[in-house]
Amino acid sequence: MASQVVLRLEGVTKRFGSFTALDNITLDIADGEFLTIVGPSGSGKTTMIRLLVGMDAPSQGEIYLSGERITHVPANKRPTCMVFQSLALFPHRTVGQNIEFPLKIKGVDPATRRARAMELLELLRLPADYYRKGVTQCSGGERQRVALARALAFDPEILFFDEPLSALDYRLRKTLEKELKELHRQTGKTFVYITHSLEEAMVMSDRIAIMRSGRIVQSGTADEIYNTPGSRFVAEFMGEVNLFAVTGRGAGSFEDSSIAMQVGAATLDLEKGAQATLMVRPEYVRFLVEGQSADCQISGELHNEFALGSRIQYEVELVDGRVVTVEKLGEDRFKGRYGDKVTLGFDLANCHLIRED
């Protein structure tokens, strides 16, 4: 995406006493993109969004909106707005009054306000007669839409989301995730979404930034992060993964540091003595039968089998007790019994080498 930077964070740090919640974060958010910031709880993502929205100011560093410094501009003077985790609808007001609130604050006349509210109700697929309904009478999904409509009525330059879907049940969440992505496409606005759920991030975003302990450890498209994670943390955070610690032996050859993994002729870009982690996703590991071979081969014992709907997951225990996860599509089901000796194989072309300092 070659579009302009709309929001820029430069060396943003936030401390609470001796605790550093955000540690020197630098991040560019492009105009019109859907960026999701993902991280486990305690990674600093809530602090991050509070700074982005203007409910808090950083201890150090600057925030720029379209080139203008807004580091210490309070929330009510920023042209951005947020959909809260709790939605924070006004319980004493109707759906219509909730949606019109930002327009009322701006001093828009009642007729225009109403027309805009009606447009937004339609955009968010809420029936027009909801205009007069009390928000407390709406269901969870409807409230979600009202909160979105209210935020859109504000016509923000950037729309922030603080895990607004986390309280909903699975099916409704899936529906709304897709609607949100569609809404992003329709409105062309910049969406910045914060969540702990990687699944949510993968479904919706153009770009994902992963946070850990107050730092952004990696950012990129879902594919990039999934296939080429920069650290073990990211690799493990992005779903099931098999990791092997490897050591270079010179001339591209390498060995597994702890178990007897047979390595064929294929080579890795790893200098002699260097240590790294070899990552292979479960879907790239195969069960080898007589006569088949792969770049890397390991033997173990079939340990467990889980049906995951369209896929089946196997756990194979290696001689040293470690477990390798293998995933197959339902039609490629491997027929084996628990305790069977099996040989696993995978090719280096499907692997990714993680080097950490």
What size, in residues, is the chain?
357
Instruction: Pick from 16, 26, 55, 308 the residue near another protein by CB under 8 A.
Output: 55
Whole-number Å distance between alpha carbons of 36 and 39: 10
Query: Which residues 117-176 are close enough to bind another protein by CB under 8 A?
Result: 150-151, 154
In the bound state with another protein, the residue whose beta carbon lies nearer, of 74 and 250, is 74
Whole-number Å distance between alpha carbons of 281 and 226: 9
Instruction: Pick from 65, 82, 209, 261 the residue near another protein by CB under 8 A.
Output: 82
Whole-number Å distance between alpha carbons of 136 and 10: 41
Whole-number Å distance between alpha carbons of 244 and 86: 42
Counting contacts by CB under 8 A, is residue 318 touching another protein? no
- The answer to whether the beta carbons of residues 211 and 39 sit under 8 Å apart is yes
Counting contacts by CB under 8 A, is residue 92 touching another protein? yes
Counting contacts by CB under 8 A, is residue 75 touching another protein? yes
In the bound state with another protein, the residue whose beta carbon lies nearer, of 81 and 342, is 81
Q: Which stretch binds another protein (CB under 8 A): 74-82, 175-183, 212-220, 236-244?
A: 74-82
In the bound state with another protein, the residue whose beta carbon lies nearer, of 120 and 210, is 120
Question: How many residues make contact with another protein (CB under 8 A)?
Answer: 24
Q: Where are the beta strands (DSSP E) in the chain?
A: 5-16, 19-30, 34-38, 60-65, 68-69, 80-83, 158-162, 190-195, 207-212, 215-220, 242-250, 253-256, 262-263, 275-280, 286-288, 296-308, 311-318, 323-329, 341-346, 352-354
CB of 339 to another protein, least distance (A): 54
Instruction: Pick from 86, 166, 257, 293 the residue near another protein by CB under 8 A.
Output: 86
- The answer to whether the beta carbons of residues 81 and 159 sit under 8 Å apart is yes
Instruction: Pick from 17, 67, 91, 339 the residue near another protein by CB under 8 A.
Output: 91
In the bound state with another protein, the residue whose beta carbon lies nearer, of 4 and 137, is 137
Q: Which stretch binds another protein (CB under 8 A): 81-89, 166-174, 338-346, 348-356?
A: 81-89
Tokens of 276: 């790294």
CB of 88 to another protein, least distance (A): 4
CB of 152 to another protein, least distance (A): 11
User: In terms of DSSP H, where are the helices of the chain?
Assistant: 45-53, 95-106, 110-123, 140-153, 170-187, 198-204, 222-227, 232-237
In the bound state with another protein, the residue whose beta carbon lies nearer, of 91 and 321, is 91
Site string for another protein, 218-257 (x = CB under 8 A): ----------------------------------------
Residue type at position 350: N
Residue type at position 329: L
What is the contact surface with another protein in residues (CB under 8 A)? 53-55, 74-77, 81-82, 84-86, 88-92, 101-102, 105-106, 150-151, 154
